[in-house]
């Protein structure tokens, strides 16, 4: 774009097919007909427009790959939530060992089932000792 084009004017450039150099360039005033390359052209008025350039971008596969990884990461976060369980193991004054297990179970029914299975397996592994000393939150 030429810096000599003022408001109310337009610069017209004519090119031959396949050529990168203009065959004729002329600045037209609004409403005044002019001849450019043997053609009579009248600049009627300005309109808002959007100029787009279509080009081949070699980085497109990287963008698609990155966006795919982003979507997969979001899916993993929502379908496989972070789950935690805590255990407190203490030796009591009478020589026995106390085990307390806890977890935050919010809006995760599947984890509640898994956590209860873990507690049952822990009770089974402790054997009679778990029956003599019930864990907190469990019925005696």
pLDDT digits (tens, 9 = 90+) for 61-114: 999 999 999 999 999 888 877 777 888 888 888 888 788 888 876 777 777 788
Q: How far apart are CA 31 and CA 39, in angstroms?
A: 16
Structure tokens at 130: 């778990």
Q: How far apart are CA 3 and CA 9, in angstroms?
A: 11
Residue 112 and residue 105 in contact, taking contact as beta carbons nearer than 8 Å: yes
* pTM of structure: 0.35
DSSP, collapsed to helix, strand or coil, labels residue 13 as strand
């Amino acid at each position: 774009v030429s810096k000599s084009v003022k408001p109310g004017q337009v610069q017209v450039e004519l090119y031959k097919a396949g050529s990168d150099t203009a065959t004729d360039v002329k600045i037209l005033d609004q409403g005044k007909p002019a001849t450019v390359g043997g053609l009579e052209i009248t600049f009627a008025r300005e309109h808002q427009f959007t100029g787009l350039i279509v080009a081949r971008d070699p980085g497109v596969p990287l963008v698609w790959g990155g966006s795919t990884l982003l979507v997969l990461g979001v899916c993993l976060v929502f379908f496989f939530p972070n789950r935690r369980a805590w255990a407190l193991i203490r030796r009591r004054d009478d020589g026995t060992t106390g085990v307390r297990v806890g977890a935050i179970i919010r809006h995760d029914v599947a984890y509640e089932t898994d956590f209860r299975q873990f507690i049952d397996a822990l009770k089974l592994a402790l054997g009679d000792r778990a029956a003599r000393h019930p864990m907190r939150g469990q019925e005696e």
